[in-house]
Amino acid sequence: MSALLVAASSAIAAHRLDEYLQAARIALDPERARIELDLTAGISVADRVLADIDRDRTGTISADEGQAYAAGVSRAIAVAVDDTPLAVELIDARFPAVEDLRKGESAIRIQLSAAMPPLNAGAHHLRYRNTFRPDNGSYLANALVPASDRVSISGQRRDVDQRELTVDYVLDGDRASTARAWYGVSILCLLFAVASLWWRARSR
């Protein structure tokens, strides 16, 4: 994971002045996909980005303006698992100081989440697509190493401009359910053994 973050940080540092870099990191677990999206405006486009956020032209970003902008970003993010669209929920949004945004030194950080439907154990794929600001957007997308040992990533596929990322992964069975199933079988075996002993004792 650290290597991935270093690579992403290097790409952010090197992005062009006329681009709006949008770097997504996707964390998969059995019940949810979590997306961390950093948006860094190059100096040449920073004023346009700021104008989109600061609607009342006060030179500051209010909580309502930030929330409205982040909501617009979230509407441009599409997530699907096994070709079934998921509802994307805005979790958090943090904005840098206006002067730092203008200098291209700090990123807007947006956290999104999408709940998974019940999935069987086996191979699955998650598709992420970002259509926000295609006029000057530059895109990166990567899957993080899963925190859950039930999820194993088997591959990542991107389109040419990395607006779309498909993550192939394997989901192991619910180990708690498996343990309960084995516990139930053990109880049945024990009851059968007790019944057999009782029957033998009675037959004598």
146 token code pair: 């899963």
The total number of structural domains that make up the chain:
2
Mean pLDDT of the chain: 85
| Mean pLDDT for the stretch of residues 191-200 | 50
At 15, is the pLDDT very low, low, confident or very high (cuts 50, 70, 90)? low
Backbone angles phi, psi at 92, to 5 degrees: -160, 155
Domain span at residue 22? 2-173
Do residues 156 and 56 share a domain?
yes
131 token code pair: 């259509």
Do residues 8 and 32 share a domain?
yes
Looking at per-residue pLDDT, the higher value among 59 and 189 belongs to: 59
Backbone angles phi, psi at 53, to 5 degrees: -90, -50
Do residues 102 and 197 share a domain?
no
* Amino acid making up residue 64: D
Do residues 148 and 202 share a domain?
no
Q: Residue 166: its pLDDT value, please?
A: 98
Do residues 115 and 196 share a domain?
no
Q: Residue 183: its pLDDT value, please?
A: 45
pLDDT tens profile 138-179: 999 999 999 999 999 999 999 999 999 999 999 998 644 444
Neighbours of 12 (CB within 10 A): 15
Do residues 110 and 69 share a domain?
yes
pLDDT > 70 fraction of the chain, expressed in percent and rounded:
77
pLDDT tens profile 47-83: 999 999 999 999 999 999 999 999 999 999 999 999 9
85 token code pair: 């669209």
Do residues 149 and 129 share a domain?
yes
At 43, is the pLDDT very low, low, confident or very high (cuts 50, 70, 90)? very high
Do residues 51 and 150 share a domain?
yes
Do residues 38 and 126 share a domain?
yes
Q: Residue 182: its pLDDT value, please?
A: 43
Q: Residue 98: its pLDDT value, please?
A: 95
Do residues 144 and 194 share a domain?
no
User: Regarding beta strands 122-130 and 108-115, do their DSSP bridges make them parallel or antiparallel, or are they unpaired?
Assistant: unpaired
Least confident among 28-37, 39-48, 103-112, 195-204? 195-204
pLDDT tens profile 107-119: 999 999 999 999 9
Do residues 130 and 53 share a domain?
yes
Do residues 182 and 133 share a domain?
no
Residue 36 has pLDDT above 50, yes or no: yes
